Amino acid sequence: MQYTNLGRTALKVSRLCLGTMNFGPQTTEPDSYAIMDKALDLGINFFDTANVYGWKKGEGITEQIIGRWWGQGGGRRDKVVLATKVYGDMGDWPNTSRLSALHIRKACDESLKRLKTDYIDLYQMHHVHRDAPWEEVWQAMELLVQQGKVLYVGSSNFAGWHIVQANEAAKRRNFLGLVSEQSIYNLMNRNIEREVIPACSAYGLGVIPWSPLGGGLLGGVLQKISEGRRASEHMQRQIAEKKSQLEAWEGLCEEMGEKPADVALAWMLQNPVITAPIIGPRTIEQLEGSLRTLEITFTAENTKRINEIFPGYRTAPEDYSW
Protein backbone atom coordinates (compact mmCIF):
# COMPACT_ATOMS: atom_id res chain seq x y z
CA MET A 1 0.00 0.00 0.00
CA GLN A 2 1.10 3.55 -0.68
CA TYR A 3 0.54 6.33 1.86
CA THR A 4 0.47 10.11 1.66
CA ASN A 5 -0.08 13.06 3.95
CA LEU A 6 -3.64 14.28 4.33
CA GLY A 7 -3.32 17.74 2.82
CA ARG A 8 -0.85 19.94 4.68
CA THR A 9 -1.00 17.80 7.83
CA ALA A 10 1.48 15.20 9.06
CA LEU A 11 -1.27 12.55 9.14
CA LYS A 12 -0.51 9.55 6.91
CA VAL A 13 -3.39 7.91 5.06
CA SER A 14 -3.60 5.21 2.40
CA ARG A 15 -3.97 6.27 -1.24
CA LEU A 16 -7.31 4.44 -1.33
CA CYS A 17 -10.10 5.30 1.11
CA LEU A 18 -12.62 2.64 2.09
CA GLY A 19 -16.15 3.98 1.69
CA THR A 20 -18.74 2.42 3.99
CA MET A 21 -22.00 3.85 2.65
CA ASN A 22 -23.25 0.40 1.63
CA PHE A 23 -22.69 -1.10 5.09
CA GLY A 24 -26.14 -1.94 6.41
CA PRO A 25 -28.47 -1.11 3.51
CA GLN A 26 -26.69 -3.25 0.89
CA THR A 27 -23.89 -5.09 2.68
CA THR A 28 -24.69 -7.30 5.67
CA GLU A 29 -22.94 -6.68 8.96
CA PRO A 30 -20.81 -9.88 8.76
CA ASP A 31 -19.79 -9.01 5.19
CA SER A 32 -19.02 -5.43 6.28
CA TYR A 33 -16.72 -6.83 8.99
CA ALA A 34 -14.98 -9.04 6.43
CA ILE A 35 -14.42 -6.12 4.04
CA MET A 36 -12.99 -3.91 6.79
CA ASP A 37 -10.74 -6.70 8.02
CA LYS A 38 -9.48 -7.29 4.50
CA ALA A 39 -8.90 -3.58 4.01
CA LEU A 40 -6.59 -3.56 7.03
CA ASP A 41 -4.84 -6.68 5.74
CA LEU A 42 -4.18 -4.81 2.48
CA GLY A 43 -2.84 -1.76 4.32
CA ILE A 44 -5.86 0.51 3.76
CA ASN A 45 -6.03 2.61 6.92
CA PHE A 46 -8.42 5.38 5.78
CA PHE A 47 -12.15 4.70 6.30
CA ASP A 48 -14.96 7.14 5.44
CA THR A 49 -18.50 7.15 6.78
CA ALA A 50 -21.26 9.61 7.80
CA ASN A 51 -23.83 9.84 10.54
CA VAL A 52 -26.68 9.62 8.01
CA TYR A 53 -25.43 6.44 6.32
CA GLY A 54 -27.89 3.61 6.73
CA TRP A 55 -30.63 6.03 5.66
CA LYS A 56 -32.91 5.56 8.69
CA LYS A 57 -33.23 8.99 10.25
CA GLY A 58 -31.38 9.36 13.50
CA GLU A 59 -30.12 5.78 13.70
CA GLY A 60 -26.64 6.04 12.18
CA ILE A 61 -26.73 2.38 11.17
CA THR A 62 -23.39 2.37 9.37
CA GLU A 63 -21.61 4.09 12.25
CA GLN A 64 -23.07 1.48 14.59
CA ILE A 65 -21.69 -1.34 12.44
CA ILE A 66 -18.22 0.20 12.51
CA GLY A 67 -18.50 0.68 16.26
CA ARG A 68 -19.31 -2.98 16.80
CA TRP A 69 -16.46 -3.96 14.48
CA TRP A 70 -13.93 -2.24 16.76
CA GLY A 71 -15.13 -4.65 19.44
CA GLN A 72 -13.76 -7.61 17.49
CA GLY A 73 -10.37 -6.75 19.00
CA GLY A 74 -6.94 -6.75 17.38
CA GLY A 75 -6.37 -3.03 17.88
CA ARG A 76 -8.70 -2.24 14.99
CA ARG A 77 -9.52 1.29 16.14
CA ASP A 78 -5.88 2.28 16.53
CA LYS A 79 -5.10 1.14 12.98
CA VAL A 80 -7.78 3.23 11.29
CA VAL A 81 -7.91 6.93 10.37
CA LEU A 82 -11.65 7.37 10.75
CA ALA A 83 -13.59 10.06 8.88
CA THR A 84 -17.25 10.75 9.53
CA LYS A 85 -19.58 13.66 8.76
CA VAL A 86 -22.03 16.12 10.25
CA TYR A 87 -24.87 18.08 8.57
CA GLY A 88 -27.58 15.61 7.59
CA ASP A 89 -30.95 15.49 9.33
CA MET A 90 -30.82 13.21 12.37
CA GLY A 91 -34.25 14.01 13.86
CA ASP A 92 -37.54 15.84 13.51
CA TRP A 93 -36.83 18.99 15.54
CA PRO A 94 -35.42 22.28 14.21
CA ASN A 95 -31.83 21.83 15.46
CA THR A 96 -31.20 18.24 14.43
CA SER A 97 -29.40 19.07 11.19
CA ARG A 98 -26.94 21.44 9.53
CA LEU A 99 -24.12 23.37 11.21
CA SER A 100 -25.36 25.29 14.20
CA ALA A 101 -22.99 25.06 17.16
CA LEU A 102 -25.73 23.16 19.00
CA HIS A 103 -26.10 20.53 16.29
CA ILE A 104 -22.35 20.14 15.72
CA ARG A 105 -21.80 19.42 19.41
CA LYS A 106 -24.76 17.05 19.74
CA ALA A 107 -24.06 15.24 16.46
CA CYS A 108 -20.43 14.66 17.41
CA ASP A 109 -21.37 13.17 20.78
CA GLU A 110 -23.94 10.90 19.14
CA SER A 111 -21.45 9.74 16.49
CA LEU A 112 -18.90 8.94 19.20
CA LYS A 113 -21.47 6.79 21.02
CA ARG A 114 -22.45 4.89 17.89
CA LEU A 115 -18.84 4.45 16.81
CA LYS A 116 -17.82 3.33 20.33
CA THR A 117 -14.75 5.52 20.25
CA ASP A 118 -13.63 8.62 22.15
CA TYR A 119 -12.30 10.52 19.13
CA ILE A 120 -12.90 11.12 15.42
CA ASP A 121 -9.80 11.55 13.30
CA LEU A 122 -11.43 13.63 10.55
CA TYR A 123 -14.77 15.35 11.20
CA GLN A 124 -16.21 16.55 7.90
CA MET A 125 -18.98 19.05 7.25
CA HIS A 126 -21.13 17.10 4.79
CA HIS A 127 -22.34 20.27 3.07
CA VAL A 128 -21.98 24.01 3.47
CA HIS A 129 -24.57 25.74 5.68
CA ARG A 130 -24.92 29.25 4.32
CA ASP A 131 -26.83 30.52 7.37
CA ALA A 132 -24.12 29.48 9.82
CA PRO A 133 -21.45 32.17 10.33
CA TRP A 134 -17.93 30.80 10.32
CA GLU A 135 -17.34 32.24 13.78
CA GLU A 136 -20.05 29.92 15.09
CA VAL A 137 -18.85 26.89 13.16
CA TRP A 138 -15.21 27.29 14.19
CA GLN A 139 -16.11 28.00 17.80
CA ALA A 140 -17.91 24.66 17.91
CA MET A 141 -15.14 22.78 16.10
CA GLU A 142 -12.42 24.33 18.26
CA LEU A 143 -14.21 23.13 21.39
CA LEU A 144 -14.37 19.58 20.01
CA VAL A 145 -10.65 19.70 19.23
CA GLN A 146 -9.86 21.07 22.71
CA GLN A 147 -11.91 18.27 24.25
CA GLY A 148 -10.00 15.67 22.22
CA LYS A 149 -13.15 14.48 20.46
CA VAL A 150 -11.98 15.60 17.00
CA LEU A 151 -8.43 15.76 15.63
CA TYR A 152 -8.89 17.33 12.17
CA VAL A 153 -11.75 19.10 10.38
CA GLY A 154 -12.67 18.68 6.73
CA SER A 155 -15.38 19.75 4.30
CA SER A 156 -17.47 17.99 1.69
CA ASN A 157 -19.29 19.39 -1.33
CA PHE A 158 -17.91 22.91 -0.78
CA ALA A 159 -17.38 25.45 -3.54
CA GLY A 160 -13.94 26.97 -3.93
CA TRP A 161 -15.02 30.24 -2.32
CA HIS A 162 -16.46 28.37 0.67
CA ILE A 163 -13.01 26.84 1.26
CA VAL A 164 -11.45 30.32 1.10
CA GLN A 165 -14.05 31.79 3.50
CA ALA A 166 -13.66 28.91 5.94
CA ASN A 167 -9.89 28.90 6.09
CA GLU A 168 -9.51 32.67 6.22
CA ALA A 169 -11.92 32.72 9.17
CA ALA A 170 -9.97 29.89 10.83
CA LYS A 171 -6.71 31.75 10.27
CA ARG A 172 -8.05 34.77 12.13
CA ARG A 173 -8.67 32.47 15.11
CA ASN A 174 -5.23 30.82 14.85
CA PHE A 175 -7.05 27.56 14.15
CA LEU A 176 -5.86 24.91 11.70
CA GLY A 177 -9.12 25.04 9.74
CA LEU A 178 -10.03 22.72 6.88
CA VAL A 179 -7.47 20.06 5.96
CA SER A 180 -9.49 18.18 3.33
CA GLU A 181 -12.38 18.48 0.89
CA GLN A 182 -14.50 15.57 -0.24
CA SER A 183 -16.00 16.28 -3.66
CA ILE A 184 -17.61 14.39 -6.48
CA TYR A 185 -14.87 13.92 -9.05
CA ASN A 186 -14.39 11.50 -11.90
CA LEU A 187 -13.53 11.54 -15.58
CA MET A 188 -17.14 12.24 -16.48
CA ASN A 189 -17.52 15.01 -13.91
CA ARG A 190 -14.42 17.22 -13.79
CA ASN A 191 -16.10 20.44 -12.63
CA ILE A 192 -13.94 20.86 -9.52
CA GLU A 193 -10.88 21.38 -11.73
CA ARG A 194 -12.03 24.98 -12.29
CA GLU A 195 -11.96 26.31 -8.74
CA VAL A 196 -12.21 23.67 -5.99
CA ILE A 197 -8.96 21.87 -6.79
CA PRO A 198 -7.02 25.15 -7.15
CA ALA A 199 -8.44 26.36 -3.82
CA CYS A 200 -7.50 23.08 -2.15
CA SER A 201 -4.00 23.29 -3.58
CA ALA A 202 -3.56 26.89 -2.41
CA TYR A 203 -4.80 26.19 1.13
CA GLY A 204 -3.20 22.79 1.56
CA LEU A 205 -6.34 20.66 1.56
CA GLY A 206 -6.23 17.07 0.43
CA VAL A 207 -8.98 16.15 -2.04
CA ILE A 208 -10.95 12.98 -1.35
CA PRO A 209 -13.04 12.21 -4.46
CA TRP A 210 -16.37 10.49 -4.05
CA SER A 211 -18.05 8.62 -6.91
CA PRO A 212 -14.67 8.20 -8.66
CA LEU A 213 -16.19 5.69 -11.08
CA GLY A 214 -19.13 7.88 -12.03
CA GLY A 215 -21.70 5.63 -10.41
CA GLY A 216 -20.23 2.62 -12.20
CA LEU A 217 -20.13 4.07 -15.71
CA LEU A 218 -16.33 4.11 -15.73
CA GLY A 219 -15.97 0.58 -14.38
CA GLY A 220 -16.39 -1.35 -17.63
CA VAL A 221 -20.13 -0.94 -17.81
CA LEU A 222 -20.42 -2.05 -21.45
CA GLN A 223 -18.84 -5.39 -20.62
CA LYS A 224 -21.58 -6.24 -18.11
CA ILE A 225 -24.37 -4.06 -19.35
CA SER A 226 -27.24 -6.20 -18.06
CA GLU A 227 -25.90 -7.12 -14.62
CA GLY A 228 -26.71 -5.70 -11.19
CA ARG A 229 -27.47 -2.00 -11.00
CA ARG A 230 -26.41 -1.64 -14.63
CA ALA A 231 -29.78 -3.14 -15.53
CA SER A 232 -31.72 -0.28 -13.93
CA GLU A 233 -33.66 2.05 -16.19
CA HIS A 234 -31.65 5.07 -15.02
CA MET A 235 -28.32 3.39 -15.73
CA GLN A 236 -29.44 2.05 -19.10
CA ARG A 237 -30.47 5.57 -20.10
CA GLN A 238 -27.05 6.96 -19.10
CA ILE A 239 -25.26 4.21 -20.97
CA ALA A 240 -27.28 4.93 -24.11
CA GLU A 241 -26.54 8.66 -23.88
CA LYS A 242 -22.80 8.17 -23.43
CA LYS A 243 -22.27 5.00 -25.43
CA SER A 244 -19.75 6.35 -27.95
CA GLN A 245 -17.70 7.93 -25.15
CA LEU A 246 -17.78 4.73 -23.11
CA GLU A 247 -16.80 2.64 -26.12
CA ALA A 248 -13.75 4.83 -26.67
CA TRP A 249 -12.89 4.65 -22.96
CA GLU A 250 -13.16 0.91 -22.65
CA GLY A 251 -11.27 0.47 -25.90
CA LEU A 252 -8.37 2.53 -24.57
CA CYS A 253 -8.31 0.55 -21.33
CA GLU A 254 -8.25 -2.69 -23.30
CA GLU A 255 -5.26 -1.42 -25.30
CA MET A 256 -3.53 -0.62 -22.01
CA GLY A 257 -4.30 -4.12 -20.77
CA GLU A 258 -6.02 -2.77 -17.67
CA LYS A 259 -9.50 -2.82 -16.17
CA PRO A 260 -11.42 0.45 -16.71
CA ALA A 261 -12.09 0.92 -12.98
CA ASP A 262 -8.39 0.66 -12.17
CA VAL A 263 -7.43 3.13 -14.88
CA ALA A 264 -10.08 5.62 -13.75
CA LEU A 265 -8.74 5.58 -10.18
CA ALA A 266 -5.09 5.64 -11.26
CA TRP A 267 -5.76 8.68 -13.46
CA MET A 268 -6.85 10.62 -10.37
CA LEU A 269 -3.81 9.66 -8.34
CA GLN A 270 -1.51 11.37 -10.86
CA ASN A 271 -2.61 14.71 -9.38
CA PRO A 272 -0.66 15.42 -6.16
CA VAL A 273 -3.59 17.29 -4.58
CA ILE A 274 -5.68 14.09 -4.69
CA THR A 275 -5.26 12.24 -1.41
CA ALA A 276 -7.37 9.13 -1.92
CA PRO A 277 -10.44 8.33 -4.00
CA ILE A 278 -13.21 6.62 -2.05
CA ILE A 279 -13.82 3.05 -3.14
CA GLY A 280 -17.00 1.22 -2.15
CA PRO A 281 -16.37 -2.48 -2.78
CA ARG A 282 -19.31 -4.82 -2.32
CA THR A 283 -17.10 -7.92 -2.25
CA ILE A 284 -13.65 -8.93 -1.02
CA GLU A 285 -12.66 -9.62 -4.63
CA GLN A 286 -13.49 -6.08 -5.69
CA LEU A 287 -11.48 -4.73 -2.77
CA GLU A 288 -8.42 -6.82 -3.58
CA GLY A 289 -8.65 -5.89 -7.25
CA SER A 290 -8.53 -2.18 -6.42
CA LEU A 291 -4.86 -2.41 -5.44
CA ARG A 292 -3.89 -2.75 -9.10
CA THR A 293 -4.74 0.96 -9.33
CA LEU A 294 -1.55 1.85 -7.48
CA GLU A 295 0.67 0.16 -10.05
CA ILE A 296 -0.65 1.76 -13.24
CA THR A 297 1.44 4.41 -14.97
CA PHE A 298 0.49 6.58 -17.93
CA THR A 299 2.33 7.58 -21.05
CA ALA A 300 1.84 11.05 -22.46
CA GLU A 301 -0.22 9.46 -25.23
CA ASN A 302 -2.47 7.69 -22.71
CA THR A 303 -3.17 10.95 -20.92
CA LYS A 304 -3.77 12.80 -24.18
CA ARG A 305 -6.34 10.25 -25.31
CA ILE A 306 -8.12 10.24 -21.95
CA ASN A 307 -8.46 14.02 -22.14
CA GLU A 308 -9.81 13.72 -25.67
CA ILE A 309 -12.46 11.25 -24.52
CA PHE A 310 -13.30 13.16 -21.33
CA PRO A 311 -12.34 16.82 -21.79
CA GLY A 312 -11.52 18.56 -18.54
CA TYR A 313 -11.29 22.19 -17.46
CA ARG A 314 -8.58 24.76 -17.04
CA THR A 315 -8.22 26.68 -13.81
CA ALA A 316 -10.70 29.56 -13.53
CA PRO A 317 -11.00 32.23 -14.74
CA GLU A 318 -9.03 31.19 -17.83
CA ASP A 319 -11.46 28.36 -18.47
CA TYR A 320 -14.28 30.79 -19.16
CA SER A 321 -12.39 34.00 -19.85
CA TRP A 322 -9.25 35.13 -21.60
Alpha-carbon gap, residue 28 to 31, rounded angstroms: 5
Alpha-carbon gap, residue 4 to 86, rounded angstroms: 25
Please classify residue 214 by burial: count the beta carbons closer than 10 Å to its beta carbon, then call 0-12 exposed, 13-18 middle and 19+ buried. buried
Query: Does residue 140 contact residue 106 with C-beta atoms inside 8 Å?
Result: no
Give yes or no: 119 in active site: no
Which residue out of 53, 87, 152, 203 is catalytically annotated?
A: 53
Alpha-carbon gap, residue 161 to 200, rounded angstroms: 10
Please state the three-class secondary structure of the chain as a single string. CCEEECCCCCCEEECCEEECCCECCCECHHHHHHHHHHHHHCCCCEEECCCCCCCCCCCCHHHHHHHHHHCCCCCHHHHCEEEEEECCCCCCCCCCCCCCHHHHHHHHHHHHHHHCCCCEEEEEECCCCCCCCHHHHHHHHHHHHHCCCEEEEEEECCCHHHHHHHHHHHHHCCCCCEEEEEEECECCECHHHCCHHHHHHHHCCEEEEECCCHHHCCCCHHHHCCCHHHHCHHHHHHHHHCHHHHHHHHHHHHHHCCCHHHHHHHHHHCCCCECCCEECCCCHHHHHHHHHHHHCCCCHHHHHHHHHHCCCCCCCCCCCCC
Beta-carbon contacts of 159 under 8 Å, excluding residues fewer than 6 positions away, are: 128, 195, 196
Catalytic site positions: 53
